[in-house]
Structure 1
Amino acid sequence: MALKVAIVGRPNVGKSTLFNRLVGKRLALVDDRPGVTRDRRYADGNIGDMDLTLIDTAGYEDVTDDSLESRMREQTEAALEDGDLILFMMDAREGVTSLDRIFADRLRKQHKPVILLANKSESRESGGGIGEAYALGFGEPVAISAEHGE
């Protein structure tokens, strides 16, 4: 049975790009505008020789009303419940935001393994953001570039 991996984070940090990379084809829409991914999407993929069931999620917003953003948050919450492992993605170029901190607090209540990914770390300006990521409390962030496959 494949390990279920939920890819989560705030809008526009590269979740769908990583999902597509690990699945090996373009199943999820990728766009610079936030909110393109609205529901959970499941697909089989792998890292090395490890088979995975990947769960792509909408960007996490800290909203609990009747809005689209709130429904997207609910989809992310459902993915967190369903996943065995959580890949928490942040944008290394932007550094840690207040929404990253709010979401990190939420993830600590999951009692599931969390791996912090510092995406968009291919450029020089990402160094500060990678350093800030330690403050989220998930150990050493894994510096990646989902777009470039690094």
Structure 2
Amino acid sequence: MQPTIVIAGRPNVGKSTLFNRLVGRRDAIVNDQPGVTRDRREGDARIGDIKFRAVDTAGLEDAFDDSLPARMRRQTEVAIGDADLVLLVIDARAGVTPVDQHFASWLRTLSVPVLLLANKCEGRAAQPGVYEAYSLGLGDPVPVSAEHGGGMNMLYDAISEALGGVEFLEEQRDAVKEQGPLQLAIVGRPNVGKSTLVNAL
């Protein structure tokens, strides 16, 4: 069974951009306006040979009344309750905010494992934010650029370790073997050696 990984964080830190990169298509709405994602979005995702169910959540906001932000927060909390792993995303260029600190403290009280992602690490301007992220007490932050695909190798390693490392990957590979032999198509223009390659295989 594929694990569920929930992407969480305050509004406008790049959660939906990361979701789109992991699922390989632009399912989630990406906009610079905070609070664009109001409903959970789910999709089959992968990073390297790790397959999982990704959940893109509304931005975590410090609201507890019956307002829209409060309802969005409660929906995010439900998603996190069903997660095998949470990716808490912060904006490294903006640095750690009080809202980041509040929700990092809350996540530390839960039993679900959490990876801290310092997003928008496209240049040196983000480095102070990465160092500041250590103060959240969630371990080493993983510097990534969801928009440009930077840091995906480090994210792969972190997810693999958080989900059980080698044992987890072996379970997924065993599941693939049970589905039968791999079917492969070889395509190309005429006279480039397709048949020779098939014969060699």
User: TM-score, normalised on structure 2?
Assistant: 0.74
The residue type equivalent to 1:111 in the other structure is S
Bigger CA radius of gyration:
2
Q: What are structure 1's unaligned runs of at least 5 residues? A: none
- Give deviations 1:75-117, integer Å, cap 9, x for gaps: 1101110110000000000110000000001101211111000
What is the match of residue 74 of structure 2?
74
What is the match of residue 36 of structure 2?
36
CA–CA separation in structure 2 for the residues paired with 1:135 and 1:24: 32
Shift of 1:39: 1.2
What is the match of residue 5 of structure 2?
5
Corresponding residue SS for 2:28: coil
What is the match of residue 140 of structure 1?
140
CA–CA separation in structure 2 for the residues paired with 1:105 and 1:139: 13
User: TM-score, normalised on structure 1?
Assistant: 0.98
Shift of 1:14: 0.2
CA–CA separation in structure 2 for the residues paired with 1:50 and 1:84: 14
Corresponding residue SS for 1:34: coil
Alignment of 1:92-103 (within 5 A): 92-103=92-103
Higher strand share: 1
CA–CA separation in structure 1 for the residues paired with 2:149 and 2:138: 23
- Identity among equivalent pairs (%): 59
Shift of 1:36: 0.9
Q: Contact between 1:80 and 1:110, CA under 8 Å: does it hold in 2?
A: no
Q: Which has the higher contact order (CA 8 A, sep 6+)?
A: 1
Q: Structure 1 stretches (4+) deviating beyond 2 angstroms?
A: none
Q: CA RMSD in A?
A: 0.6
